[in-house]
Amino acid sequence: MTSTTPPTTPPTSSSSPSSLPRRTVLATGAAGAAAAGVLGSGVRPAQADPTGQPGQAGAAERAKAKHEVFQHGVASGDPLPRRVVIWTRVTPTPAATAGSGKGGPVTVTWQVAKDKRFRKVVSKGRFLTSAGRDHTVKLDAKGLKPDTEYFYRFRALGQKSPVGRLRTAPRKRAALDNLRFGVVSCANLEAGFFSSYRGLAARDDLHAVLHLGDYLYEYPTGGYGMGQGNVVVRPHDPPHEMVSLEDYRRRHANYKADPDLQALHARYSWILTWDDHEVTNDQWKSGAENHDESEGDYKVRRARAHRAYDEWMPVRMDGTAALGDGTRLYRRLRFGQLAEVSMLDLRTYRDEQAALPGVDPTVSDPSRSITGKKQMAWLKESLTRGDHAPQWKVIGNPVMIAPVTFGDLPNDLIDPINDVTGILPGDGAPYNVDQWDGYTADRREVLGHIRDHQVKDVLFITGDIHSGWACELPLDTSTQPLYGDSYGVEFVCSSVTSNNLKDITGVPQLTPIVETAILANNRHIKYLDFDNHGYSVLDITPARAQMDWYVIGARDDAATPIEWSTSYATQAGTGRITPVDAPLEA
């Protein structure tokens, strides 16, 4: 194993040196519900959301702050050839903390330049923010050149933000030699330090970072910590479960205060989707496992969560960086002729999970969907884009699509595996009702579409399950070993910190037994690691796509070492997976 120990590097600023269930993606609500969420949150009404156009500065903007103004770093995301979303938050007064509703309007200036000293500024402007949007700043920086690296920063109240770097996407028809992404998911602040973010921030070879969901967790302090004892490595704020708009804003601020997360956001543009914990555990379109009547109307709660997500994350919703224009998160990002990344939302439109895994016939009911009809049609279009379709169809997939069956697992291992994955019913039947295994008609529709249209080079990149997997994607697992049919591949990254099988059982020697049984019953699964936390690096060329898995040491050690674990690749046109002896050169 190759060991690397990147330094812990907080971003620099010129202004200042129990076993709860745990899976899934953030569902979405209507814009009108978002407004209802604001009014019902307990946060006092503030001014209407600013448009980002130049405006009159208030007294708070004119005064020179003595406290740190840019406490939550900077971020960029959703790179297009000529524009990229850039983000920050200002703290206009010490009392104007996230979610407080305090603080007057502030005019923030922003710049994008070719050089880190900002002598060659190519785009700039002013943005009026206020308590109505939690003093966040999010906009599309336009007028940029394709496939070019830039630097960006913000100014307000006499201070400068940390400097961020971004890279625009190449032109639609550009021929590329490679694309390289960091891949992460499932980062629970209370369960450990974000060493995976530190490891990726230390690299200098990525085009962007793909985050596949569970960027943050909703649980109260001590509700879902590290290991069997739910040890709180770092406490959540607020300490109770997030339900109100103020709660969600404070929790986003809690996570964005982390120095390793700030460093990775400043270093690369991110392409994100959500999983369930951005709202609450195991959510579906009209409810969630971790929601009850005492917490109010579920859709109002979800609207609050989506509002805070829109404010605090460098993503376009409904295709724009503006707030309040919609909550559609599924979208495509094109990278020349080589690849297109299609990010799915598998919470907002899904039907409720089946009640009885393994014996409930609804898992194959074609009227039930994990995607919803519109998103399914959009996904199928993404896979067959006509004469100028990109070679690699990369699907950002929050929950696992590969079928998994478990015929020979000991009964006393069923419960601990469920605590990590949620995929094993007590009778050993082969259904994971929260993932595509619980919506088999949708899976057959997708894989059948790939087969019928002879689509090649389909690559699902997945998070959620707190473990590493490399899988081929057959339509029929019973005939796949004989005929070798595979209509794509799936690479699953592990969790940044969230508990895995070893953490739940406390008995690491059990893991090889479980992994051996799963691999024996699922010949299309080529790699499985139930015990490690970390991140992955995905490299795509015209000839192949390769995923490297990196693992961290102790989660409660901020300087823990990071090691390469394994690599798998799929050769272009094959839909098959093979092991690789060494990681990509950084």
Cβ neighbours for 218, distance < 8 A, ≥ 6 positions apart: 241, 242, 251, 277, 278, 279, 280, 281, 290
**Is it the case that residue 419 has pLDDT exceeding 80?**
no
Q: Is the pLDDT of residue 40 over 70?
A: no
> Using CA of residue 376, residue 378, residue 384, residue 390, what is the dihedral sign?
negative
Task: Collapse the DSSP code of 501 into the 3-class scheme (helix H, G, I; strand E, B; otherwise coil) and give the result.
Answer: helix
Whether the per-residue pLDDT at 149 is higher than 60: the answer is yes
Lowest mean pLDDT among 145-154, 415-424, 493-502, 571-580: 415-424
pLDDT over threshold 50, residue 39: no
Binned at pLDDT 50, 70 and 90, residue 416 comes out as: low
| Average pLDDT score over residue span 316-333 | 96
SS3 522: coil
What's residue 417's pLDDT?
60
Q: Flag whether pLDDT at 138 surpasses 80.
A: yes
d(CA 184, CA 491): 12
Domain of residue 565: give its range.
Answer: 3-166+179-578
**Structure-block tokens of residue 380:** 């199928």
pLDDT of residue 22: 35
Vertex 165 angle, CA 162 and 167, to 5°: 160
Tokens standing for residue 277: 């914990």
At 504-528, the pLDDT tens digits run 888 888 888 888 888 988 999 999 9
* pLDDT tier for residue 27 given thresholds of 50, 70 and 90: very low
The dihedral over CA atoms of 442, 443, 447, 449, expressed in degrees to the nearest 10, equals 0
The pLDDT of 484-496, averaged and rounded, is 95
Question: Is residue 105 a part of any domain in this protein?
Answer: yes
Which of these ranges, 125-129, 190-194, 401-405, has the smallest mean pLDDT? 401-405
Q: Span 190-216, mean pLDDT? A: 98
Q: Is residue 55 within 8 Å of residue 107, measured between CB atoms?
A: yes
Query: Per-residue confidence at 206, pLDDT binned at 50, 70, 90?
Result: very high
In this structure, the number of other CB atoms found within 10 A of the CB of residue 71 comes to 18
Q: Look at residue 171 and tell me if it is in a domain.
A: no
Q: What pLDDT is stored for residue 358 in this prediction?
A: 59
Burial 456-495 (b: 16+ CB within 10 A, else e): ebbbbbbbbbbbbbbbbbbbebeebeeeebbbbbbbbbbb
Integer Cα distance of 504 and 525 in angstroms: 23
Give mean pLDDT, residues 32-51.
33
Classify residue 536 as exposed, middle or buried by CB count within 10 Å of its CB (0-12, 13-18, 19+).
buried
DSSP SS3 for 296: coil
pLDDT at residue 405, as a whole number: 78
Q: Higher confidence at residue 450 or residue 53? A: 450
Q: What is the mean pLDDT of residues 547-557?
A: 98
Residue 545 lies in a domain: yes
Lowest mean pLDDT among 379-388, 415-424, 482-491: 415-424
Q: For the chain, what is the total number of helices (H) and then of strands (E)? A: 12, 25
77/211 Cα distance (integer angstroms): 11
Separation between Cα atoms, residue 261 and residue 100, nearest integer Å: 23
* pLDDT tens digits for range 57-86: 444 445 688 999 999 999 999 999 999 999
* Contact criterion met (CB below 8 Å) for 555 and 193: yes
C-alpha angle with apex 322: 317 to 328, nearest 5 degrees? 15
The percentage of residues in the chain with a pLDDT greater than 90, rounded to a whole number, is 75
- How far is the C-alpha of 48 from the C-alpha of 43, rounded, in Å? 14
The pLDDT of residue 471: 97
Residue 28 has pLDDT above 50, yes or no: no
Q: Say yes or no to pLDDT of 408 above 80.
A: no
The mean predicted confidence, pLDDT, of the chain is 87
In CATH, what number is assigned to the domain containing residue 323? Answer: 3.60.21.70
Percent above pLDDT 70 for the chain: 84
The DSSP result for 155-195, as a single string, is EETTEEPPPEEEEPPPPTT---S-EEEEEE----GGG---H
Interval 316-343 mean pLDDT = 96
pTM of the model: 0.88
Express each pLDDT in 248-267 by its tens digit: 999 999 999 999 999 999 99
Q: Burial level of 411, CB count in 10 A (0-12/13-18/19+)?
A: exposed
DSSP string computed for 214-242: -SS--PPTTTS-BTTTTB-SS--SSSSPP
Q: Average pLDDT, stretch 222-238? A: 97
> How confident is residue 49, by pLDDT bands cut at 50, 70 and 90?
very low
Give residue-wise pLDDT tens across range 433-444.
899 999 999 999
At which residue do the structure tokens 């330090």 appear?
193
Q: Where is average pLDDT lowest: 43-47, 126-130, 231-235, 490-494?
A: 43-47
pLDDT at 32 over 60: no
When pLDDT is cut at 50, 70 and 90, the band that residue 13 belongs to is very low
Residue 7 predicted with pLDDT over 70: no
User: What's the confidence (pLDDT) of residue 133?
Assistant: 98
Domain count of the fold of the chain: 1
Query: pLDDT-based confidence at 414, cuts 50/70/90?
Result: low
| Cis-peptide into 238, omega within 30 deg | yes
Q: What is the mean pLDDT of the segment spanning 131-141?
A: 98
CA angle, 396 as apex, 391 and 398 as ends, to 5°?
A: 155
Report the 10 Å Cβ neighbour count for 316.
23
Over residues 410-428, the mean pLDDT reads: 52
